Every structure is written in C-alpha cells, then in structure tokens.
Structure 1
Amino acid sequence: MTELGTISDELGKMYDQTTPLSIALNDGQEHLAYWYGKEDDTTVFEAAQRITRKVADTLYLRPGERLLDAGCGVGAPAVLVAKETGALVTGITVSAAQVAEGERRAFESGLSRSVRFERGDYQSIAYPDGSFDAIMAIESLMHAPDLDAVLAEFHRVLRPGGRLALSDCTREPGMSDDEFVQLSEAFKMHCLLTIPQWVETLKRAGFVVEEYIQCGPRVYGMGLRYLDRANELQDELVSDFGEEAIENLKQGYRNYFGAGGERMGYGIIAARKPAEGRCCAKCGTTY
C-alpha cells in the first residue's frame, strides 16, 4: 500500500468512513449535481451524472486515450466516462475503501481492462512524465494543501498538448474570511478560489485556459436537494448507519449549502498543456 502524507492519510480515513453512506445516497456519484431549476425533478444520481458528463465533454476524449481521474471517489464517474467515451481511465484516491469499491464497479460493469483504481496522492503521482492524454479532477482540488504543487504534477504527467478539466466550488464575493475558515475546518477544505483566481493559477502552472463556466445557481444553489434525498431515505439510512450519523449528515448539508449563492458558486474549467514551449515559469523546462 502506498505511503501517503499525514494530511492525505487523514483525508483518506475520512473518506473510508463516509464511503458506505455516499453509496447509499447517490450510488457513488460523490460530487454535486446539476439541476436546470426548481421544476427539474431529475434524481440526485442522474443530476450528478450531468456534472461528470459536463467535465468529460470539455476534454473531448477519444477511444483509447489515457485519462487520469485525480481524486476518483468510489469510481462511478470513471466507469461512466470509460463506458461512454472508450477512454482508458486510471483513478487515484487516498482512500483504500474507495479503491475497493471502484474495482468492484469496474468489474461489474465489464470494464476491468479499461478502468483501474489505485491508492495514491495527486501531490506525488506515481507515473512518468507524459503518461496521460487528459486529467479530470471533480471536486478534489479543494483538498489540495499546495495547489501549485498539484498542478505542477498534473502538468508533468500530461503529454504535450494534453488536456485538464476540473470542477469545484468557488468562492464568491459575499463570503467572509470567517465563513471560509469555518468551511475549511468542517470539510478539510484548503482551496476555495474565485473563477478569475482559478484562471490565473492555471496559467501560472503553465496551462492555457480554454473554457470556463460558472454554474453555481444550478449546482451549489440547488444543493439542499441532498437534504431532501436524506429525508426521503430516512428510515433506511437510520437502519443502516444510526440516527446520530444521519442527523449529523443532514446538519452538514445545512451548514455546507446554507452559505447561499452569493457566497459560494460552482465552476467548470478546461485547460491544455501547450504542445511545445516552456513547461512553467518555475522550472523553465522546454519540449
């Protein structure tokens, strides 16, 4: 088993503990969901798949291309992307429980040859330079203690011309520093940027930003639907996980989504490693 850093180990233990509950709530789509409005009655699971597809669509994946899913959760997005695009997907996560669940999903989907999962840390990716054609990071970079270092790793393991797509919650003007500190402590969140800050950070890492969208009202702004989902499954969840755990879960939803759209948004950003030229300002490597 890969030895991880202290912060990654702590995060891995957190996800080891929350994995069964996540599976019960939305069948492994361990990220937020996208609804078109109050009249949209799409299920949480299907609405979450929309985020996976939106991120994957920006990468324009082709059959046989090598995709790294950095912070892959229990593997539902990786399996969906491999099935729909024909890409060869490697998922890495700091959680041993998530690796096991991802492997199960790949096997049951008949995709064990196309999708693999490993316990690893995106701060130090165990692959040579240029190993991947594309990388996706769905709500995983918020946990990065050193975002510049992580993006440098992404840049390293992408081939020249390789693509990167990420989605994450974004900090909006109404969020105070105190609110950010509270969210950071509660959800082990180290990174919460505005869209312009994301663009600047990616450029600093040597990427060319090609597309970005702020869809916060349809994602974060609809997040209390997760509370509705927990209420819908109340009896089943209490039976499996206990009343205290479910009440804590629901309070967590209230705390997380209670910030409101003027304080928290949701961005999807696509970028590319230049096909040739300087790697980044720090190292000066050329191709």
Structure 2
Amino acid sequence: MSEQVIDQVGEYYDDIGELVELVGGNLHVGYWESDEDRAPFLEAMQRLTFEVGARLGLERGQHLLDVGCGVGEPAVRLAQRYAVAITGITVSHWQVAESARRVIAAGLRGRVITRYADAADQPFPDASFDAALAFDSLPSAQDKSRWLREVHRVLRPGGRFVFTEYPRTAELTDGERAILAANTIHTPPATLAESTALAETAGFDVVAAEDWSERVRRTYDEFFAALTAQGPALAEEYGAERIAMFTTGITTMFSLCRAKIGYHVLTCVKPA
C-alpha cells in the first residue's frame, strides 16, 4: 500500500474515532438468517463475528493474525471463545490505542496485541501464524493481490485464511465509485468468481466461497435507526456539528451500499 493510501485509510478511521461506539466497536456489517430473524442490531454484528470466526477452524493455543483489526472488538470476542492468541494490525494510530484499552478491559492483556503495520508489507517472518483473518478490511486495499500474497507468506502451510469482500451487485457510476473510494472501498468485485480468483492467484486453495449479501443487507437500515435514536446523546458528547457532518457522509455511503453493495465470505487454505 502506498504511503498516500496508508495515510488516507489511517486518517479516515482516526477521524471517525470514538463514533465506533454506535456499532459496539464492530467495523463490519451484521448477520441475520432471514427476514423473519428479529435479532437486534448489535447482536447481529456479534453474530457475524462468530459466523466468520467459525470458518477459521481455530484450536486452543493457536496464533491468529487479524489484518485490519479495527479497534479489536472481533479479536477480543474470538480470543475469549477459542482461547487463542491474536495479533492485529491496523494503519490507524487511534485504533491501536483504543484496541489496547478494550483488550485490557476484557482481561486479555498479552493474549491480544494490536500493532501499527501495513498489511501489504507486514513485519512478520514467514509462516508466523496458524490462521489469518481479513474481516471487512481487504476492500480498503489499493493492491489486493499484494495484501493476499503477504497473508500467504506469513501463514503456516495448512493454515486457514478467511476474508470478506464488498462486491458490487449492480453497475456503479463514476460518482458512486468516488463515494466508495472516499470511504476506503476500492475496486469492488462483481462476482464470487472474481474474489476466488484473487485468492487462488495469491497461492491459496479456496474451500468455500459464500454470498451473504441478503443476510447482511438489513445492517444499513438498522444503523440509521440506531443513529436516529442515539443522535442527540452523540451530539451532546462529540458536538452537534461533528455528528451532523458524520450523518450526512454516512447516509450517502450507506444508502449506496444498501442499493448496490453485497457481501462475500471466502474460506481459504495455504497448501501444506
């Protein structure tokens, strides 16, 4: 990732900062089984963490790499459930600090560690990790192939890698692509075959490729409802002007995502 893109992504997440409280620290979508599934918003987001995490096949004592780990909320949940060690990387200095706070509060000091590092140029030796996860972070990559090659390098042979992707479900205008890019979503694939080919070109065997577009789509309506309900309290805490600017920007972005962006989950293995 170029220094310019690293700065763009890092500054984006530094800027939204404390507003991750609105989504319980989860910088990803939620998961509902069907239209009849009445799971509340934050529960659905936690459910997605465990649905994705289950595909890693984690075993007690293993070491997981979390690429683009956000503020560490998924890492905390997975470390608690599977008794694994997790190293997360991010290009947001604020996220590194916030993740450390959350890890300590969860009683996981030393078991979950977040480092400032570029996913396209990782500071780890070959075969350092038993499993790897890129949870809603690969869409931020300017060079997705390079990210995937780096994950392949640092993963041990036989290790599992799960990543999620935001595909386009309809043609995008130049203006819509610009909106996505401003929100760090680059070159959305059109099909599962495109996402699969990226992983295979990096050297992975793809053992499952799933389209969860309809299972996550409710996220955007649920988010807007939460923002409306909590907006006054957020404005009091962070300032009405900041919340108004955030609301305008996120409404444009999420309205586009609801209409034209789906969700892929790919489970891969590095050949032994």
- Give the alignment of 1:68-107 within 5 angstroms: 68-107=65-104
Matched, 1:183 2:179: yes
- 1:80 partner letter: R
Q: Give the 3 Å change call, closer, same or farther, for CA 153–42 of structure 1 in structure 2.
A: same
Q: 1:257 to 1:36 in 2, by over 3 A?
A: farther
**What's the CA shift for 1:177?**
4.1
Q: Which moved more, 1:6-15 or 1:120-129?
A: 6-15
CA distance in 2: counterparts of 1:260 and 1:101, whole angstroms:
27
SS of the aligned residue for 2:124 comes to: coil
Runs of 5+ unmatched residues, structure 2: none
The residue matched to 1:202 in structure 2 has which SS?
helix
Q: Is the partner of 1:224 in helix, strand or coil? A: helix
How far 1:260 moved relative to its partner?
6.2
The answer to whether 1:145 aligns with 2:142 is: yes
Out of 206, 215, 218, the position equivalent to 2:215 is 218
TM (normalized to structure 2)?
Answer: 0.93
- Structure 2 counterpart of 1:118: 115
Cα RMSD, aligned residues only = 1.8
Which structure carries more helix by proportion? 2
Q: Provide the residue aligned with 1:171 in structure 2.
A: 168
Q: 3-state DSSP class of the match of 2:262?
A: strand
- Inter-CA distance 53–264: structure 2 relative to 1 (3 Å threshold): same
Aligned to 1:248: 245
The one-character-per-residue Cα deviations of 1:127-171 (angstroms, maximum 9, x if unpaired) are 000000111111101111111111110110001111110112211
2:192 is equivalent to residue 192 of structure 1? no
Alpha-carbon contact 1:221-1:257 (below 8 Å) kept: no
Stretches of structure 1 that go unaligned for 5 or more consecutive residues are 276-287
- Asked if the contact 1:63–1:85 (Cα under 8 Å) also holds between the matched residues in 2, the reply is yes
1:113-132 superposed Cα distances (whole Å, 9 cap, x missing partner): 21111111101110000000
Query: How far apart, CA to CA, are the structure 1 residues paired with 2:17 and 2:41?
Result: 17
Q: How much has 1:192 moved relative to structure 2?
A: 1.1
Matched, 1:109 2:106: yes
How far apart, CA to CA, are the structure 2 residues paired with 1:34 and 1:249?
Answer: 24
- Normalising by structure 1, we get a TM-score of 0.88
Q: Which string of whole-angstrom CA distances, capped at 9 and with x for unpartnered residues, describes residues 209-248 of structure 1?
A: 0112111122134422101000010110111122233233
State the alpha-carbon separation in 2 of the partners of residues 99 and 72 from structure 1.
9
Contact 1:19 1:74 in 2 (8 A): no
CA distance in 1, matches of 2:93, 2:129: 23
Partner secondary structure for residue 127 of structure 1: coil
1:252 and 1:196 map into 2 onto residues whose CA distance is: 31
Q: Look up the equivalent residue of 1:254 and give its one-letter code.
A: T
> Quick check: 1:267 aligned with 2:264?
yes
Match of 1:278 in 2: none
Structure 2 residue 232 is the aligned partner of structure 1 residue 231:
no
Q: Hey, what's the Cα distance between the residues in 1 that align with 2:59 and 2:212?
A: 26
User: 1:285 matched to which residue of 2?
Assistant: none
2 CA distance for matches of 1:106 and 1:267? 28
The count of residues paired between Structure 1 and Structure 2 equals: 270
1:19 to 17, 23, 32: 17
For 1:63, the equivalent position in structure 2 comes to: 60
Q: Offset at 1:107? A: 1.0
